[in-house]
Structure 1
């Protein structure tokens, strides 16, 4: 297996999803990665990866025969149209709508869309852009 550049000092080194049908997952993730401008890093028998996300079949030696449970992953998008493209690509590639593109109340300018992948993982694309001016303002307190 070939690897990309290793970056030291990150909070997350990599994430692995173990899926029932690696072909269905590859169609889904390849479509959303293309919409977000993320290249596929590589693939082999029963697995593929992009950046630090590894997706493998249940029979992969790295999976130990156990599926991962429902997970939430959020990918950063460069702009709002990328979020829109992500959502359309996810649905066209077999994903299920879990939240259409739109502004969310998490903080001003949070624009996101959600889709469930073929295994039920909640996959999000988010753009942290400037807040739109409107008659109502969103106040988020932590």
Structure 2
């Protein structure tokens, strides 16, 4: 018998972005992840990663020489202050404003900010408010 964890709300297992300038992207994401209290998982000559986001240069083995297209990634925040700190850190580390912190019409309590990373990916940090907390992870045994 094998035990695996199922994380409710985790449709995506991981994502890889392939970027033009790894050092510039690493400075941007390190600042963003510092605000979110997500530790950097590791680095190498052609990549870095944190949690389930892998970022590599076009010359990395995994990239196969091609840049990825533009993506929209949304990270969860524990509160509004973190959303605001993300936006400030993103802009201070090579990001471009794509939506200042504020309420959005998606559902009551949806508070988010948006910044384009150095490669044009739309990075969002969102606080869903107290009413939208997700269900805890459950274990499933096969």
The TM-score with structure 1 as length reference comes to: 0.85
Q: Relative contact order, CA 8 A, sep 6+: which one is greater?
A: 2
Provide the C-alpha distance between the structure 2 equivalents of 1:16 and 1:87, rounded to a whole number of angstroms: 22
Structure 1 contact 108–130 (Cα < 8 Å) conserved: no
- Offset of residue 68 of structure 1: 0.4
Q: 1:7 to 1:64 in 2, by over 3 A?
A: farther
| 1-structure distance, mates of 2:56, 2:103 | 33
- Runs of 4+ in structure 1 deviating by more than 3 angstroms, as ranges, are 6-10
Q: CA RMSD in A?
A: 1.5
Whole-Å separation in 2 of the counterparts to 1:7 and 1:54:
21
Corresponding residue number in structure 1 for 2:139: none
How much has 1:8 moved relative to structure 2?
A: 5.3
**Structure 1: tracts of 5 or more residues without a match:** 1-5, 132-142
Per the TM alignment, residue 7 of structure 1 is displaced from its structure 2 partner at its CA by 5.3
**Structure 2 residue 107 is the aligned partner of structure 1 residue 116:** no
Which ranges of structure 2 fall in alignment gaps of 5 or more residues? 132-142
Alpha-carbon distance in 2 for matches of 1:30, 1:57: 16
| Cα separation, 1, equivalents of 2:63 and 2:74 | 22
What pairs with 1:60-139 in structure 2 (closer than 5 Å)? 60-130=60-130
Deviations, residues 67-109 of structure 1 (Å, cap 9, x unaligned): 0001000000000000000000000001000000000000000
Structure 1's 43 and 7: CA in aligned 2 closer, same or farther, altered over 3 A? farther
What is the number of equivalent residue pairs in this alignment? 126
Residues 9-20 of structure 1: pairs in structure 2 closer than 5 A: 10-20=10-20
Paired residue for 1:50? 50
Conserved 8 A contact 1:112-1:127: yes
SS of alignment partner, residue 118 of structure 1: coil
Distance 2:43 2:104 in 1: 35
Please give the residue correspondences for 1:14-53 in structure 2 after superposition, counting only pairs within 5 Å: 14-53=14-53
